[in-house]
Structure 1
């Protein structure tokens, strides 16, 4: 690749799908709230708390889907220098992860859907200025035999998760080749 050519892949979300999921989650939340009220009236406090907690979880997820559907930001940006991940609630958002900080990339699967699992060379350094919850998630991921950053790709528009993983891997490999060529 010519040194003057800069690659940038801006991957957008499936906004309609996210909107539909939001509406579905809101309906489920409504049913869970009704079930919690019914359980409370029947003197089943533990069941009411369970439904209430479920409703709270579903409304948080619905809020995330609504935010992603209405937000004009992309879900993932891949450049020659690194990537920006906006795919999950706890993603690193405006923090670029440079390719120089990436040790390896693996394809993993969750519920049959592929995702990119990014292993960092020095996660504590890269994640030093991130939120505590992001550091905790990275640590949990690495303890579960996954990368420090997991990029969920099932809600990308006009590209399959496997195509997105290919772009991520291809860009990372090109970075390593160019970096190795410069250091010779």
Structure 2
């Protein structure tokens, strides 16, 4: 079998970028309203505005970077796979098939993911940084796997197709007994 590559859709990425801009503008409005409130500083609006501007500003930066650079969301090969679907992804680190316990399609808050459950949770958690570790631990508590591939911006590949391909590669090339 050859490599299976899922590419990012520019059109879908543009719609996500538009949503990030809208949320950034709302956050900026709340920040401005919090500062210029007639009686005194409106602390709730100020705090929500700051958090929104920082968070959605970062999201917009990340989306723009990925939009102009273009990217492969997932690369599946005989050795394993590379997940580049989100900010939590390990990007250029190969996840070997031998480390994979199971692959499932899961739904969390109405959004579907290809969820990969790893055999040794501790080894994986030790290999990632603090913020990523907290996010993975939160995902595990929600019942998803260690790695969750978001196909929201995928070009011409369905979540079911990626699931089938990954399962086929895992069964074919895993060296587990």
Determine if the TM-score, normalized by the shorter chain, exceeds 0.5: yes
What is the CA distance between 1:75 and its match in structure 2? 0.8
1:41 aligns with 2:39: no
The worse-fitting range, judged by mean Cα deviation, of 144-153 and 119-128 is 119-128
Q: 57, 66, 69: which is aligned to 2:67? A: 69
RMSD of aligned C-alpha atoms? 2.0
Structure-2 residue corresponding to 1:53 = 51
What is the CA distance between 1:16 and its match in structure 2? 2.6
What is the CA distance between 1:81 and its match in structure 2? 1.3
Partner-residue secondary structure (3-state), 1:75: strand
Q: Which has the higher contact order (CA 8 A, sep 6+)?
A: 2
Separation in 1 of the partners of 2:112 and 2:48? 31
Distance 1:81 1:127, change over 3 A: farther
Alpha-carbon contact 1:16-1:69 (below 8 Å) kept: no
Deviations 1:44-82 (A, max 9, x none): 122221122112211111112112211233111011111
What is the CA distance between 1:145 and its match in structure 2? 1.7
Deviations 1:5-43 (A, max 9, x none): x42111111123213422442243123212321232112
Alpha-carbon contact 1:32-1:52 (below 8 Å) kept: yes
Distance 1:126 1:57, change over 3 A: closer
What is the CA distance between 1:156 and its match in structure 2? 0.6
The number of equivalent residue pairs is 174
Separation in 1 of the partners of 2:23 and 2:160? 31
5+ residue gaps, structure 2, are: none
Structure-2 residue corresponding to 1:12 = 7
Separation in 1 of the partners of 2:80 and 2:126? 17
Structure-2 residue corresponding to 1:22 = 17
Structure 1: which 4+ aligned runs deviate by more than 4 Å?
none
What is the CA distance between 1:127 and its match in structure 2? 4.6
Partner-residue secondary structure (3-state), 1:116: strand
Write the mapping of 1:14-163 to structure 2, written as runs, cut at 5 A.
14-42=9-37, 43=40, 44-163=42-161
5+ residue gaps, structure 1, are: 1-5
Alpha-carbon contact 2:103-2:163 (below 8 Å) kept: no
TM-score scaled by length of structure 2: 0.86
Alpha-carbon contact 2:105-2:163 (below 8 Å) kept: yes
What is the CA distance between 1:143 and its match in structure 2? 2.5
Distance 1:125 1:15, change over 3 A: same
